[in-house]
A = this chain, B = another copy of it.
């Protein structure tokens, strides 16, 4: 449903006002509630803008495709770049109490660690270290994650684990010399430090990734809402790569 409305937006072009919700519901043969849900989704994706009493409008700039925090490969492809990975090293360690807690696994069991540089069109973008309990991905090795392969695809195909939810934090850091070298930027350059924890459909953690993203190639964009608006929805996050 949302796709039909999105197509209509593309057809009308930026700045255009969409037909009213009642109109759309008869036009597409669905109820108004369904149309509203679709419009709310497009709103969240920053494709349309709604003004109470005025109407729904296709967003002016529509600059880069609004993006959600997803996988590296998807992000890059959406920007028309070719994603790839270069394996730096991988090993298996025994989880101490701390690591076990973070991965929600029994302590003392093995954990696969994989360190990769992620590239877009051959240029280093991020430096990632992945942690996953070995028992949840039996047989997986670092080599499986070299080249163009996607960890999320591997998870789905070989282990029938599909990413369902996750949480991520972002903080600014200054790159250490070694990390800066791997990313091809001067030592002391600014970067974003991401820590992502993802769960599969069963609720189990299937990855904890710490990554450093080049500050000159990453920025985060978000919508903001009026201060003091208690009933306000969430701010919307989208990422963009600086050209």
Contacts and interface: CB of A to CB of B under 8 A. Distances in A.
Interface of A: 2-3, 33, 41, 44-45, 49, 51, 68-71, 73-74, 152, 162-174, 188-192, 196, 198, 203, 215, 218-228, 230-238, 240, 242
Nearest to A212: B172
Contacts of A51: 203
Contact of A234 (B44, B167, B228): B44
A168 to B, nearest CB: 5
Contact of A41 (B33, B222, B231, B240): B231
Given A74-B227, A163-B227, A169-B221, A190 B190 contact: yes
The 8 A-B residue pairs whose C-beta atoms are closest, nearest first, are A44-B234, A172-B172, A71-B227, A172-B190, A166-B224, A172-B215, A171-B219, A234-B236
Contact of A172 (B169, B173, B227): B173
Most chain B CB neighbours (cut-off 10 Å) among A3, A33, A237: A237
6 contacts: A45-B234, A69-B235, A165-B224, A167-B223, A168-B224, A236-B237
Given A41-B233, A44-B233, A44-B234, A224 B171 contact: no
Given A172-B191, A191-B172, A70 B234 contact: no
Contact of A222 (B163, B174, B225, B237): B237
Contacts of A41: 231, 233
